[in-house]
């Protein structure tokens, strides 16, 4: 049982480290896309049905739940950033058409 516990602990640590690495990359990308709105994008308030509450349980289940929450927050933030980028691109194209360029 001790070996299994150690393996689960190693796997959980690797999962958390990977999620943290993704969070860092997403934060850098979002700073590039929306430098003034990064904190707002990363402050996810999920909608009903999507919402995952942080740390409602302890132990392995709680750790997995925390990583799931982090990944859902990253997903929501990237969706919002993508929408903003598309909107800006569309507005930029509309401005070019109006100016004749």
The model's pLDDT over 86-99, given as tens digits with 9 standing for 90+, comes to 888 888 877 666 66
- Euclidean distance between CA atoms 19 and 98, whole angstroms: 44
Instruction: Evaluate whether 57 touches 64 at the Cβ level (below 8 Å).
Output: no
pLDDT average, residue stretch 55-66:
78
pLDDT average, residue stretch 37-61:
55
- Euclidean distance between CA atoms 58 and 37, whole angstroms: 33
Rg value, the chain, Cα? 19
Q: Left if phi > 0, otherwise alpha if psi is -120 to 50, otherwise beta: which for 44?
A: beta
pLDDT average, residue stretch 72-94:
84
- pLDDT > 70: what percent of the chain? 69
pLDDT average, residue stretch 19-33:
84
Task: State how far the alpha carbon of 81 is from the alpha carbons of 9, 43, 48, 60, in Å.
Answer: 34, 12, 21, 32
Total Cβ atoms within 10 A of residue 53? 9
């Amino acid at each position: 049982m001790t070996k299994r516990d150690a393996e689960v602990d190693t796997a959980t640590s690797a999962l958390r480290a990977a999620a943290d690495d993704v969070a860092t990359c997403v934060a850098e990308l979002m700073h590039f896309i929306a430098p003034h709105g990064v904190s707002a994008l990363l402050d996810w308030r999920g909608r009903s049905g999507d919402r995952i509450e942080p740390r409602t349980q302890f132990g392995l289940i709680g750790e997995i739940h925390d990583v799931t929450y982090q990944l859902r927050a990253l997903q929501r933030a990237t969706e919002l950033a993508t929408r903003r980028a598309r909107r800006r691109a569309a507005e930029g194209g509309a401005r070019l058409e109006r100016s004749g360029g």
